[in-house]
Chain A
Amino acid sequence: MLVITRKAGESVVIGDNIEISIVDIQRGSVRISIDAPRDISIFRKELIREVAQTNIEASKNAGLLDLDAISEQLRTQNQDKQV
């Protein structure tokens, strides 16, 4: 792993076509801008973690549920709310 120090206004270049610039540094937060080709996905890491957690939570017990009953309950509940 490469660890380097950069100041606001400076940047690093990764490969031929990705540039990460430090825009601003204030009170423990670093604002960066990323210039990369459209086909490169860029996500906040915690978002990926949240999606993974949601997937794992969703997979628990899903097979044991009565989908027809759930569908019916959902319909009833949403009808109640409309009245």
Chain B
Amino acid sequence: MHCQLSEYTEPSPVRDKTIVFEDGLYGLEHIKEYELISTGKQDNPFRWLRALSGEVCFIVMDPRHIEPDYDFELPDDAIAKLGATNDTQFVVLSIVVLPDRVENMTINLKSPLVINSENRRGMQLILDEDNYELRRRLVRG
């Protein structure tokens, strides 16, 4: 498995600073360093989350793009792990799965990625809330 960014990112993919997931992501615990990459097109809600090693990458998006009221309480252990304070701003991202066609795309609202914007530490949560699905369809049924 290797993540090579496609030709489509040309001419100017926009790279962000390194994000460290100390515990990795579920199933990929050994990969800790990622970067966020935009296509450069302003109104595109999708971005890549790419391992610095190039080993894997994901398509991610702000879950509020799909679920405007998306909200959860950050557990105490997550606050500690992310080194957050009262003023910390977080970036919340959901991973998208594109199995074959766009109609079948799903977004993972159950286990979002939370990133501390200041120290760039991130982690993947699993939410207790029952109303957020692991595979929520992106195309309305």
Contacts and interface: CB of A to CB of B under 8 A. Distances in A.
Interface of A: 38-41, 43, 47-48, 50-71, 73-74, 77-78, 81-82
Contacts, number: 115
B92 interface: no
A47 B27 CA distance: 12
A39 B45 contact: no
B26 A63 contact: no
30 contacts: A41-B77, A41-B126, A48-B26, A48-B126, A51-B108, A51-B124, A52-B26, A54-B97, A54-B135, A55-B95, A57-B99, A59-B3, A59-B28, A62-B48, A65-B8, A67-B44, A67-B59, A68-B39, A68-B44, A70-B59, A70-B102, A71-B44, A73-B102, A74-B102, A74-B105, A74-B139, A77-B102, A77-B103, A81-B139, A82-B140
